[in-house]
């Protein structure tokens, strides 16, 4: 998988006002079933895959799905391609008031024998990246939360010369087929992994599911992404 790089763009997603205590980054409610999500960009943050021609859209293996009134994003495939939700220029986000990132995941299949800490097997059923900025070489400063195939819950480790820190949130298939909500205080995680003042807000949220290194497959669903006040 390539190193994530993101350019700053305006957030196009409608969001609940922060005064409610919960800020909706994405719930896919306005998206079309069977299509790519309209407010998400490619890996580099400069184009929306939803606007690509059909042949290129098909290489993403993400699609909006619906069950009852709930819409969500499904990945089903092998190829590694990120989707990026820009939040860096949304001045209505106050990360110090709403430091809890909450998201919903549901796993159906994990890549066979994958290990996000090993270059040759660096696949993952689902992962959420919080991109905080860049160094002078434009390498992103990232905390990545994963649903691992093989690694124990709670394991952490660094990649990309310490610019990416990985946190295993869930592992294996014991909870496959069930929606699970995860929450992390991303301000505390920034302070845990990086030096210096916490930025006003992250640059972007990225997602990635893939199974290309292990030549297997992954299937996962992504639900709502929220920012919430700490309890």
Tens of pLDDT, residues 172-225: 999 999 999 999 999 999 999 998 899 999 999 999 999 999 999 999 999 999
Tens of pLDDT, residues 118-164: 999 999 999 999 999 988 888 899 999 999 999 999 999 999 889 99
Residue 59, domain member (yes or no): yes
- Count structural domains, the chain: 1
* 196 conformational bin, left if phi > 0, alpha if psi -120 to 50, beta if neither: left
Residues 6+ apart with CB under 8 A from 174: none
Q: Is the pTM of this model over 0.85?
A: yes
Give the DSSP H or E segment for 128: strand 124-134
Residue 214, domain member (yes or no): yes
Residue 151, domain member (yes or no): yes
Residue 164, domain member (yes or no): yes
> Which pLDDT value is given to residue 138?
86
Residue 196, domain member (yes or no): yes
The lowest-confidence range among 1-15, 23-37, 99-113, 216-230 is: 1-15
Residue 12, domain member (yes or no): no
Residue 156 belongs to domain spanning? 18-228
Residue 165, domain member (yes or no): yes
Residue 104, domain member (yes or no): yes
> Which pLDDT value is given to residue 136?
82
> Which pLDDT value is given to residue 87?
95
- Give the domain CATH number at 51: 2.60.120.260
């Amino acid at each position: 998988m390539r190193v994530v790089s993101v350019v700053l763009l305006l957030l196009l997603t409608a969001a609940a006002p922060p005064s409610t205590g919960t800020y909706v980054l994405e719930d896919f409610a306005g998206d079309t079933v069977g299509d790519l999500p309209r407010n998400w960009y490619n890996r580099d943050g400069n184009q929306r895959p939803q606007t690509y021609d059909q042949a290129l859209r098909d290489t993403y293996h993400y699609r909006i799905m619906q069950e009852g009134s709930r819409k969500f994003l499904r990945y089903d495939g092998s190829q590694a391609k990120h989707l990026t939700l820009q939040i860096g220029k949304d001045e209505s986000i106050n990360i110090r008031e709403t430091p809890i990132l909450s998201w919903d995941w549901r796993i159906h299949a994990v890549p066979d024998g994958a290990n996000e800490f090993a270059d040759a097997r660096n696949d993952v059923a689902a992962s959420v990246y919080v991109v905080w900025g860049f160094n002078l070489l434009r390498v992103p400063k990232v905390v990545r939360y994963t649903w691992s195939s093989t690694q124990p819950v709670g394991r952490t480790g660094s990649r990309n010369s310490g610019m990416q820190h990985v946190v295993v949130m869930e592992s294996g298939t014991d909870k496959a087929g069930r929606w699970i909500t995860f929450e992390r205080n991303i301000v505390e995680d920034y302070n845990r992994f990086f030096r210096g003042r916490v930025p006003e807000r992250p640059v972007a949220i990225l997602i990635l599911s893939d199974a290309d290194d292990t030549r297997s497959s992954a299937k996962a669903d992504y639900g709502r992404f929220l920012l919430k006040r700490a309890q």
